Structure 1
Amino acid sequence: MLRERSHSLLKDQRGATAATFGLALFALVAVGGLGFDYARLAGMDSELQNAADQAALAGASQLDGKTGACLRASAAASDPDFLTNLTLLANDGGDAEITITPEPDCDAVGNIRFYKVYIDESNNEPADDDSNANFIRITIGTRAANYAFTPLVAAISGDARAAAVAGVGSAICRVPPVMMCNPDEPVGNTNANYDFDANSRVGVGIRLVGDGSYAPGNFGYLNTDFGNGANALLAALGWDIPPGDCARITGVDTKTGLNASVIDGLNTRFDIDANGNTCTTVDGVTGTCSPSVNVRKDLVRGNSCGITGNGWEENDANSANYATRRYRPVSAAPISQTPEIMGLPRDMCHAWSATGNCTGGANGRIGDGQWDINAYWRSHYGANYAGEINAATYGAQPQGYPTRYQVYRWEIDDLTRIGTPKAGQGGKFAYSKPVAGKCLATPTDPYGVVPGGNNVDRRRISAAVLNCQALSINGHETNLPVVKWVDLFLVEPSIDRTRCKGGSGGCNTKYTDKTDVYVELIGETGSGTAGQTAGQVVQRNVPYLLE
C-alpha cells in the first residue's frame, strides 16, 4: 500500500503551477515595473514636448522682421504668465512648472535660438538680427522620472528632454496673383535670393513683358487653386475680389496660361471692357470688375466699351498731327507740343519706342523715373507743372516733381480736376472718370472705386519678385522662394500703340505692345493697415511647427 501511495505521489502534478509561478515572480514583477515606469517616462516626454511646441509657436508668432522681434519672441516663449506648462510625471525634486530661460539676443546660444534658415539641427544658418530671424528653436532641459518598480532590475530612473522649431507661414490676400522676374537678375545668376532694391526706385517705370517667357523683367501668374485656363486668370486679374486662395509670401507656385486676352483683366481697371466679355464667369460665378474712379488715359471712346469696334481706341491722327493728337515723342526728351489726348506716360527713355533706350535692369526694362510731367500738365491744365502737388502731403518726390502715382492720387482728392470729358477727333471723347451707365461704371456716383477706407485701389497691384533664371522657371513650378513683394501702379492700359493711324511718315512705328504691362514702382508691399492703402493688402501670419 505504501509503495502504491509513493508511486502516485511521484506522478501527481497538482501544485506544480505554484512552484513555477514562484520561480517566475521576480521576472513578472520586473516586467510589470518596466511597463509602469516606462509609461511614466513616455508621459513625461509628452509633457516636455508639448511645452516645447507651445513655446516655439508662441515665439514664432512674434518673428515679423521688425526691431525687437527676437526680444518679443523670447518673452512670448518664456513668460509663465503667457504659457503655463507642467510636468506632473517628473519626480526628480524639481518644480512641476516647466521653465524656459529668456534669451533676448538674436544670436543667442542658450535654450532659445534663432535661425535665418533651418532645415535640420545640423543644416541651418543662425540669425544675427531681428530682420532675418525667421525660425525659433526651443530646448527644454533634461528632467528625470525616478522609477517605482524598475529598481528591482537595477534601473533607477529615466531622463527625457524635448526641442521644437517653429516659423511663421505668411500670405497676402486681396491681391491679383501676379509675379515678375527680377529685372536686376544678372545673366547666369544662380542665387535664388538675389536682391531687388525696390525702395530706392520709388517712382521708376518698369516695362513688364508678358510674352509667356521668364526672362528678367517679364511677368506671369501665381497659382491660387482657382480654376484652370485663361478664364480663371482673367478673373484673377479683373475681379474686384480676386478668386482663389491667398498667395503665400514665399514658397509660391507659378501658373501657366498667359495670353493677350488675359491682360484684358487689368484693363478693366481703366474702364475698358474688351468686346463686352472681359469680366468673365468661372464655375457659374460672375465677378465684378469695377474701374478706378480715375481712369485718365490716352484713349478715346466711341459708341462701345471694347478696344475694337468703335470703342476705346487711339485718337485718330496722321503723319502731320500725331505729335499734337497724342503723346508720341521721337526721342527720350520732353516734347514741346501739347497733346490733345494724353494719359500718364511712360518714363521718357521708354516712351519714344516699343523698347526705348533705358539702361536699368536686364534689357533696359527699368526706367529712371523721369517722365514728361510738363506735357501732361499742358494737356490737362493749360500750363507747365508749377508745383501744385505738395510733397509733405503726397510723399517724397525723387525727381524733384511728383511721381505718376502721386499725380493720380492728387487728382482723386479733388475729382473736379478730372471731371470734364475731353473732346477728341470724330465725335469721340476721352473720359477721365467712368460715366454713369457706360462700360464698367459702378452703380452710384462717382461711378468708379475711390481708393481708401475699405476700398482697394484698382490701379495698384502687388507682385512677387522671383529670380527666374536661378529658379529655371519655364511654366508651372512649385514652392519657389520670393525675393520680396512690391506694390506697382498701373500707368496705362495694355494695347498696341503706333505713331499714327494712316498716311505717310512712319505711321507704323510701334510704341507699345498689347502684351506689355507698364507700371510704376510704389515700393515694397506693406500690410495695408492705414492711410491711402487701407484695405489694399491683407497679410495673414500663421506660426507652424517645423519639427
Structure 2
Amino acid sequence: MKATKTKRFIGDESGAVAATYALALIPLVAFAGVAFDYARVMGMDSELQNGADQAALAAASQLDGRAGACARASQAASTMLNNLVVLASDSDFITLTAEDGCDAAGQIRFYQDKAKTTAATADDNANYVEVYVDARQVDYALLPITGRLASGALEGIAFAGLGSAICKVPPVMMCNPQEASDPEFDTAAYAGHGVRLIANDQGGLYGPGVFGYLETNAGSGASATAQTLGRVDPPGDCIQVDGADVKPGLQVSVLDALNTRVGVFANGLNNACGANNGLCPPPANARIDLLQKGGQCRIGNSGFQVGPNPYRPTSPVNDLTTAEWTPLDPMGFPRDKCHAVSQLGSCTLGPMGDGNWDRTAYYGTNGLGSMPTSWSNYGYAELSGRSTPTRYQQYRWEYDQAAAGGSQLTNVNVTGGYRTQRSPLCHGPGVAPAATPDRRVLSIAVINCVAEAVGSNTTDARIQKFVDVFLVEPSARRGSGSNIITEASDVYVEIIGETTLGGGANQGQEIRKDVPYLIE
C-alpha cells in the first residue's frame, strides 16, 4: 500500500505550471520594467524634441533679413519654449535664454546655409536657426532590478529655415524705386504716392522703377502670364521659394489682360479671360482717364482713347484754377502732378511721386462738389487720418456714395461723341471695391534689383516685401511724337500699404510669405 502511494506521488504532475511561473517571474518583471521605463524615456524624448521644434519654427518666422532679425528670432524662441517636462526626473520647465548675437554659439544658433557650414554674422545673412534644448534624464522605476538606475542624457535639437510662398496673386514685381536711399522700402512713408512703373524694353539689368513678371507654376509664355494678370482667380498654386525667378521677355501684350482690371478689354482675350471675358470682370468703379468713342471695349479708334481736352498740367506744384479746369474733359484718376507734366516727369524721387495729385481739377471736372473735410469718418482704416484723399480712398468713397444713391459713378456723354467710363461700360456691373479680391488692387513684390543684379533671367532674387498698390489708369500710349506722356508699356500705380501676410491687406488675395519649416 505504501509503495503504491509513493509511486503515485512520484508520477503526479499537478502543480508543474506553478513551478514554471516561479522560475520565469524574474525575467518577466525585468521585461515589464524595460517596457515601462522605455515608454517613459521615449515620451520625454518626444517632449524635448517637440519643444525644440516649436521654438525653432517660432525663431525661423522672424528671419526676414531686416534689422533686429536675430534678436527677434531669439526672443520668439525663448518665449515659445516654456514647457514642463512631466516625465523627467526633476519635472522642471524647459527654458531658453534669449541671445542677441547673430552667431552659431549658445542654445540658439544662426547659420547662413542649410549645411550649417557657415555661421551667420548679421541679421541679413541669418537664414537658418538651430535650437538646442538642455539635456534631461529619467530615473528608472523598475529597471534597477536589471542593474540600470537612470537613462542617459536626452536632448532636443531642431533646425529650421524660412521659405516664401506666392499664392494666387498676379506675379508682378517692381524694382525698389528708392533702393539707393531706402533699401528696406518703408511702405508707410510712401502711402498715397504714385509710382511710374517702366517696362524693361532695353534688356539687360533692371533698375529702380522697372517692373516685370515672376515665374510661377501657372505655365510658361505670354498666354499663361496674361491669365495670371487678368483673371479674378489666377491659375497656379502656392510656390514656396527662397527667392524669385524673373520671367524673361518684355511681354507687353500681357498688359491687355492687366487692363481688364480697369474695365478695358482688348480683342483676342478669350484664352486669358474665357468666353465673353467672364473670367476677368471689370471693377464696379471703373473710372479712367480715357473716354470711349464708338462703343468698342478696346483701346484705339472706335474704343477707349484720349479725349479732345485731356488733363495736361504744366506745373508740378499748383492745382489748376477754375478757368483752367473748366474746359477739360471729365478726369480719370490722375498721376501725381510731378509725373503728369511730362513723360519722364519732374519728381524729386524719380519714378516715385510725392502723392500730390490735382484734387481740385478732379472734383471740378467730374462735378463731385466739395471735397469731404475728414476722411477718418469713412472707415478706410488702410489710410485713415488724412485731410485729403488718396486716389485709393477716392475710389472707395465714390463707390460707397453711389451705392447709397449718389450719382458719382454715372456715365455721361461728352461733346464730340465721347463717353466717360465711371461704372464699367463693358461687361458690368463689376466687382465692388474692397471685395475679395479687389480688381484694382494688386499685391506686388518689391526687389532691390541693383543689389540682386536682376536681369531678364535672374533666379532666386530676394523679395524684400510685398506691397498693395492701386491701379490708377490703363496701360496705353498717351500723346505722340515729342509729346508722348506715357508709353503703352508703362503702368501707373499708387502705394496703399504693405501686404498683410496670409491675406492681402485690402483685396483679400491669398498671399503667404515667410513660411517657417523644419529641416531636421
- Structure 1 residues 44, 488: closer, same or farther in 2, change over 3 A? same
Preserved contact between residue 174 and residue 447 of structure 2 (Cα < 8 Å): yes
**Which residue number in structure 1 is paired with residue 262 of structure 2?**
270
* CA–CA separation in structure 2 for the residues paired with 1:47 and 1:384: 71
How many Å apart are 1:249 and its aligned residue? Answer: 7.6
Match of residue 450, structure 1, among 432, 447, 451: 432
**Which residue number in structure 2 is paired with residue 517 of structure 1?**
491
How many Å apart are 1:181 and its aligned residue? Answer: 0.7
* CA–CA separation in structure 2 for the residues paired with 1:55 and 1:358: 53
Give the alignment of 1:470-485 within 5 angstroms: 470-485=451-466
* CA–CA separation in structure 1 for the residues paired with 2:417 and 2:56: 62
* CA–CA separation in structure 1 for the residues paired with 2:330 and 2:214: 35
Report the TM-score when normalising by structure 1. 0.71
For structure 2, which runs of at least 5 residues remain unmatched after alignment? 1-38, 63-68, 144-150
Match of residue 313, structure 1, among 296, 299, 305: 305
**Which residue number in structure 1 is paired with residue 333 of structure 2?**
344
How many Å apart are 1:52 and its aligned residue? Answer: 6.1
Q: Secondary structure at the match of 1:457?
A: coil
Q: Secondary structure at the match of 2:485?
A: strand
- Structure 1 residues 121, 490: closer, same or farther in 2, change over 3 A? same
* CA–CA separation in structure 2 for the residues paired with 1:457 and 1:177: 16
Give the alignment of 1:253-268 within 5 angstroms: 253-268=245-260
How many Å apart are 1:378 and its aligned residue? Answer: 0.1
Give the alignment of 1:215-230 within 5 angstroms: 215-230=207-222
How many Å apart are 1:60 and its aligned residue? Answer: 4.2
Preserved contact between residue 375 and residue 386 of structure 2 (Cα < 8 Å): no
Q: Does 1:174 align with 2:168?
A: yes
**Which residue number in structure 2 is paired with residue 492 of structure 1?**
473
How many Å apart are 1:538 and its aligned residue? Answer: 3.9
* CA–CA separation in structure 2 for the residues paired with 1:329 and 1:398: 28
Q: Does 1:426 align with 2:410?
A: no
- Structure 1 residues 45, 516: closer, same or farther in 2, change over 3 A? farther
Q: Does 1:327 align with 2:311?
A: yes
Q: Secondary structure at the match of 1:331?
A: coil
- Structure 1 residues 69, 533: closer, same or farther in 2, change over 3 A? farther
How many Å apart are 1:167 and its aligned residue? Answer: 3.1
Q: Does 1:526 align with 2:512?
A: no
Q: Secondary structure at the match of 1:57?
A: helix
- Structure 1 residues 292, 528: closer, same or farther in 2, change over 3 A? farther
Q: Secondary structure at the match of 2:454?
A: coil
Preserved contact between residue 290 and residue 448 of structure 1 (Cα < 8 Å): yes
* CA–CA separation in structure 2 for the residues paired with 1:229 and 1:121: 38
Preserved contact between residue 358 and residue 366 of structure 1 (Cα < 8 Å): yes
AA at the equivalent of 2:185: F
How many Å apart are 1:142 and its aligned residue? Answer: 4.8
394-403 vs 412-421, greater mean Cα deviation: 394-403
State the percentage of identical aligned residues.
37
How many Å apart are 1:448 and its aligned residue? Answer: 0.7
For structure 1, which runs of at least 5 residues remain unmatched after alignment? 1-42, 87-93, 149-156, 188-192, 318-324, 442-446, 500-506
Q: Deviations over 1:76-133 (max 9, x none)?
A: 444248xx8x7xxxxxxx6498x772126353899742648565656333789xx999
Report the TM-score when normalising by structure 2. 0.74
* CA–CA separation in structure 1 for the residues paired with 2:278 and 2:220: 16
**Which residue number in structure 1 is paired with residue 371 of structure 2?**
385
Preserved contact between residue 441 and residue 507 of structure 2 (Cα < 8 Å): no
Preserved contact between residue 411 and residue 420 of structure 2 (Cα < 8 Å): yes
How many Å apart are 1:335 and its aligned residue? Answer: 2.1
Preserved contact between residue 199 and residue 523 of structure 1 (Cα < 8 Å): yes
Match of residue 202, structure 1, among 191, 194, 202: 191
Q: Deviations over 1:333-379 (max 9, x none)?
A: 4223222221010110000111111111xxx1111111100000001
Q: Does 1:59 align with 2:75?
A: no
Q: Secondary structure at the match of 1:101?
A: strand
- Structure 1 residues 120, 145: closer, same or farther in 2, change over 3 A? farther
Preserved contact between residue 528 and residue 534 of structure 1 (Cα < 8 Å): no
Q: Deviations over 1:111-158 (max 9, x none)?
A: 742648565656333789xx9997542224457899x9xxxxxxxx98
- Structure 1 residues 262, 106: closer, same or farther in 2, change over 3 A? farther
How many Å apart are 1:61 and its aligned residue? Answer: 4.3
Preserved contact between residue 235 and residue 265 of structure 1 (Cα < 8 Å): yes
- Structure 1 residues 110, 486: closer, same or farther in 2, change over 3 A? same
Match of residue 536, structure 1, among 484, 487, 509: 509
Q: Does 1:296 align with 2:283?
A: no
Preserved contact between residue 370 and residue 399 of structure 1 (Cα < 8 Å): no
* CA–CA separation in structure 2 for the residues paired with 1:386 and 1:141: 62
Preserved contact between residue 299 and residue 341 of structure 1 (Cα < 8 Å): no
How many Å apart are 1:489 and its aligned residue? Answer: 0.8
How many Å apart are 1:492 and its aligned residue? Answer: 0.7
**Which residue number in structure 1 is paired with residue 12 of structure 2?**
none
